[in-house]
Amino acid sequence: MIIEITEKDQSKYDKAALHPLQSWAWGEFRKKTGVGLSRLAFGEKNIDDVFQITWHRIPHTKFCIGYCPKSVVPSIGEAEEIKKEAVRRNAIFVKFEPNEKSSSETAKKISDLEHGFNFVAGKPLFTKYTFQLDISKSEEELLSKMHQKTRYNLRLAEKKGVEIVEDSSEQGFEEYWKLMEITTRRQGFFAHGKGYHHKMWQTMTESGMGHLFKAVYEGKTLSAWMVFILNETIYYPYGASSNENRDVMASNLMMWEVIRYGKKQGCRLFDMWGSLGPEPDVRDPWYGFHKFKQGYGAELVEFLGSFDLVVSPVLYKIYGAAEKVRWVALKLLAGLRK
């Protein structure tokens, strides 16, 4: 049964959300960026499943794409209601990237959707893998499970006098953004602009879900992280670091103090928001980040992947072909700029 929800149902809605990307606050943030938003809730007496979908307009057309990251796998009945909303929005398809692992139950639901709808494997937007750490264990046990080098590095940062402080102020955000610009230049990866990050920081911190931490050494901020807390899980979605004093291992201590903070807030799990797969390529630009997370003794978790609920099969094929051309053109332009 679909349940009508209003702002007064925010707390109940969030309890059913499997991930911050499905949280009420994240939806409010995305609305501020100008995209369309739908929240669908299902259950009998209480809210059991929620699906927060953003709608992204295809330029110069009346059509859009729906994106529903980190929800449950919808049932047949839920998919029918989602498809109705997609038709109303003139969507070509809705992309799902469930926050669920493979099991007999999820396999049955996927199979039912494949038979009942045009539900196909899609191109991923969110990584299929992440590292998760059980932080319900004692600090002593967590330290013992770390890689020896990781444990050494965080102790070194402590001895050097690195301090980890929470600073969710406007000044704290400005320091975070300055380091984010440095990090994206150093690593050579794409990041959303300052306006996007500021709206996200503001909305998530005002909701009580977001927290901004910084690592300070000799008066300088060497690292800044944004973390989210939802339903006894702490998440690490964004982090940035300076090019200076990298030898004091500030990020290693930051990770440990974020773990300790999560424990104090009653969290039982630390989700590190993505990783490479079980056989990572050492040449991958994210390999160093993958190894950094792995050093804390976390478990590599594999989710189901990406699936598209196709609403218009003809337009879906045309869209797929256009996307291939667009990516070829972007790669050629990137090569010309080198």
- The per-residue pLDDT for range 20-51, each reduced to its tens digit, is 999 999 999 999 999 999 999 999 889 999 99
| Full-model pTM | 0.93
Question: 279-302: per-residue pLDDT in tens?
Answer: 999 999 889 999 999 999 999 999
Report pLDDT for 196. Answer: 97
Contact by Cβ (8 Å): 248, 111 = no
Backbone angles phi, psi at 335, to 5 degrees: -65, -35
Report pLDDT for 172. Answer: 96
Same domain? 237 vs 147: yes
Same domain? 35 vs 114: yes
Domain that holds residue 76: 2-126+304-337
Same domain? 290 vs 225: yes
Same domain? 162 vs 272: yes
Binned at pLDDT 50, 70 and 90, residue 326 comes out as low
Report pLDDT for 323. Answer: 82
Same domain? 159 vs 133: yes
Contacts of 201 (CB under 8 A, 6+ apart): 168, 173, 176, 210, 212, 226
Same domain? 235 vs 107: no
| Structural domain count, the chain | 2
CA distances 56 to 33, 34, 75, 90, 235, Å, are 11, 9, 24, 11, 25
Report pLDDT for 10. Answer: 96
Same domain? 233 vs 296: yes
Report the CATH number that the domain containing residue 44 is assigned in CATH: 3.40.630.30
Contact by Cβ (8 Å): 99, 70 = yes
Same domain? 21 vs 7: yes
- Above 60 in pLDDT, residue 177? yes
Q: Supply 239's token pair.
A: 């982090």
CA distance 99 to 3: 22
Same domain? 92 vs 137: no
Same domain? 42 vs 150: no
Q: Supply 126's token pair.
A: 């969110």
Report the 3 state secondary structure along the chain: CEECCCHHHHHHHHHHCCCHHHCHHHHHHHHHCCCEEEEEEECCCCCCEEEEEEEEECCCCCCEEEEEECCCCCCHHHHHHHHHHHHHCCEEEEEEECCCCCCHHHHHHHHHHHHHCCEEECCCCCCCEEEEEECCCCHHHHHHHCCHHHHHHHHHHHHHCCEEEECCCHHHHHHHHHHHHHHHHHHCCCCCCHHHHHHHHHHHHHCCCEEEEEEEECCEEEEEEEEEEECCEEEEEEEEECCCCHHHCHHHHHHHHHHHHHHHCCCCEEECCCECCCCCCCCCCCHHHHHHHHCCCCEEEECCCCEEEECCHHHHHHHHHHHHHHHHHHHHHHHHHC
Please give the average per-residue pLDDT across 167-179, as a whole number: 96
Same domain? 183 vs 98: no
Same domain? 308 vs 297: no
